[in-house]
């Protein structure tokens, strides 16, 4: 992996990272917002400590461990990636409540257009802020967006120490089974 200087990472602030999407996906994964490493590389969940790619594989969504640079392969598995808020920051706590709410509105429009079977928001705090649902918990939600079901997953960031990779893979696996049954 390319090593970036602090200056290069700082220059990635506020950059946009293109979604990996197509119409009619099985699952559209939705991160909070791109981190600086993601913005610098153009690859989602690119920070080395992020557990998204290993958990995706451990849960059975992908037949092998993909690298962030292989993100476009997700489409062949009926999977995609977007974000609640498009702009890159060093930390999610740099986002305002209004950015989350606006991100939720834009995400609902995107989901309505792309019509995935499931929207999987990775991070319960981001889901609560984006959709004004203070009581949401990890797991399937009652909310739907058009015909799309919604599932909240644990945030795979290495900063989320409450969830081990194995426990996350179990929860992601529950969604995979539901997506396969749909």
Residue 12 has which token pair? 């990635």
Question: Is the pLDDT at 158 greater than 70, yes or no?
Answer: no
With cut-offs at 50, 70 and 90, classify the pLDDT of residue 111.
Answer: very high
Average pLDDT estimate for 159-164 = 80
Report d(CA 152, CA 157) in Å as an integer: 15
Which has the closest alpha carbon to 39: 65, 73, 4, 70?
A: 4
Question: Is the pLDDT at 1 greater than 60, yes or no?
Answer: no
Share of the chain above pLDDT 90, in %: 85
**Cβ pair 89, 36 in contact under 8 A:** yes
Which has the closest alpha carbon to 123: 133, 137, 143, 109?
A: 137
pLDDT on residue 157:
78
Q: Identify the residue with better confidence: 181 or 169.
A: 169
pLDDT on residue 160:
73
**Cβ pair 33, 93 in contact under 8 A:** no
SS3 81: strand
């Amino acid at each position: 992996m390319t090593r970036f200087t602090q200056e290069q990472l700082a220059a990635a602030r506020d950059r946009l990272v293109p979604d990996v999407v197509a119409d009619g996906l099985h699952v559209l994964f939705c991160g909070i917002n791109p981190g600086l490493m993601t913005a610098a590389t153009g690859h989602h969940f690119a920070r080395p400590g992020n557990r998204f790619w290993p958990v995706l594989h451990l849960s059975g969504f992908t037949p092998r461990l993909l690298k962030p640079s292989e993100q476009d392969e997700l489409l062949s598995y009926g999977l995609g990636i977007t974000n609640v808020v498009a702009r890159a920051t060093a930390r999610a706590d740099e986002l305002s409540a209004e950015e989350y709410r606006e991100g939720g509105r834009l995400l609902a429009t995107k989901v309505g257009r792309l019509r995935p079977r499931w929207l999987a928001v990775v991070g319960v705090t981001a889901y609560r802020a984006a959709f004004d649902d203070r009581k949401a918990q990890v797991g399937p939600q009652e909310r739907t967006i058009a015909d799309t079901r919604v599932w909240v997953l644990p945030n795979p960031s290495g900063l989320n120490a409450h969830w081990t990779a194995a426990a996350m893979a179990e929860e992601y696996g529950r969604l995979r089974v539901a997506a396969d049954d749909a």
